[in-house]
């Protein structure tokens, strides 16, 4: 019988496991293994591995000779060495587009939180027991220019939300959306113009070798002092040292970050800034999105076992958004 190993904290309930158990023997583990030998121990006997956060490196993959499918409980697969998987004949599947609405809604929440200073105002009321409204004058979204970098499914949803709230739209993508241009009047421009002209910049790109740390001082220095940047994608799209410098020196007004690299000094320094609002990578994390995510992840496994794989990831690097 085929063996399936769920090797970390995938949110799968009894119904999900029973669907898999009809086709295979299933082992479920808790916690995210960090050491290579621990990952290998959990996955060694499996033809199919389901994982979320575990780093599936070349070192690990080469020690799993039985492995045929890696089903990632996520959209992003930057934790998987795709080149190694391809060389070893391991199919990699992911879960695209399950959290489009969830991430778009958090993006809006971060915009409002930064521009209206909601977290700071909340803390002030709790700490002082007073209504000190004078200290928290904000700015409105309506009438502002929203620049969206990456107009895939999530970027398109954010554009529609922004348009409905009275924002004008700039976009940057190697594959412009005719629907956004026709329906919402989005103007596609070079990346530098997005940063120079937008009041709010929102990042919606996958993390690849080409997009890693693409937002650096060169782009941040183009922003207006009143502008803010929102990142509900991966932390490493940003050159974090440069972002801290821009925020600390008030060269830009603020940021809303759903992911931050706290292992480096700039991440810890960012936590001390009042003009930044953080969330702990929760863009995807709604009840509705989680249910859909697991259902698709399980379906990826079942379809693979039936010989009709879906949502297969191409190991080739995604093209960069050119500057």
- Catalytic (active-site) positions: 234, 263, 281
* C-beta separation of 231 from 203 below 8 A: yes
For 147, left (φ over 0), alpha (ψ -120 to 50), or beta? beta
């Amino acid at each position: 019988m085929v063996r399936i190993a769920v090797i970390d904290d995938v949110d799968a309930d009894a119904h999900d496991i029973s669907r898999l158990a009809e086709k295979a023997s299933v082992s479920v583990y808790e916690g995210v293994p960090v050491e290579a030998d621990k990952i290998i121990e959990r996955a060694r006997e499996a033809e199919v591995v389901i994982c979320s956060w575990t780093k599936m490196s070349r070192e690990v993959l080469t020690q799993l000779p039985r492995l045929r499918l890696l089903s990632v409980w996520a959209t992003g697969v930057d934790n998987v060495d795709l080149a190694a998987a391809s060389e070893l004949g391991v199919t990699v599947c992911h879960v695209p587009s399950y959290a489009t609405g969830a991430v778009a809604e958090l993006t809006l929440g971060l915009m409002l939180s930064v521009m209206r200073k909601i977290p700071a105002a909340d803390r002030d009321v709790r700490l002082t027991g007073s209504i000190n409204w004078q200290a928290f004058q904000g700015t409105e979204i309506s009438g502002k220019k929203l620049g969206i970098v990456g107009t895939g499914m999530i970027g398109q949803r954010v554009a529609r939300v922004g348009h409905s709230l009275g924002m004008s739209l700039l976009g940057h993508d190697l594959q412009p959306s005719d629907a956004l241009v026709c329906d919402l009047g989005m103007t596609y421009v070079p990346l530098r113009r997005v940063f120079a002209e937008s009041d709010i910049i929102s990042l919606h790109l996958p993390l690849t070798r080409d997009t890693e740390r693409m937002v650096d001082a060169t782009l941040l220095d183009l922003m207006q002092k009143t502008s803010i940047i929102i990142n509900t994608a991966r932390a490493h799209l940003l050159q974090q040292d440069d972002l801290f410098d821009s925020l600390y020196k008030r060269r830009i007004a603020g940021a809303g970050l759903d992911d931050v690299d706290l292992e480096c000094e700039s991440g810890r320094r960012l936590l001390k800034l009042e003009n930044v609002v953080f969330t702990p990578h929760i863009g995807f994390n709604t009840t509705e999105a989680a249910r859909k995510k697991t259902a698709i992840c399980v379906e990826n496994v079942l379809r693979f076992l039936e010989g009709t794989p879906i949502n297969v990831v191409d190991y080739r690097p995604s093209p960069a958004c050119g500057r």
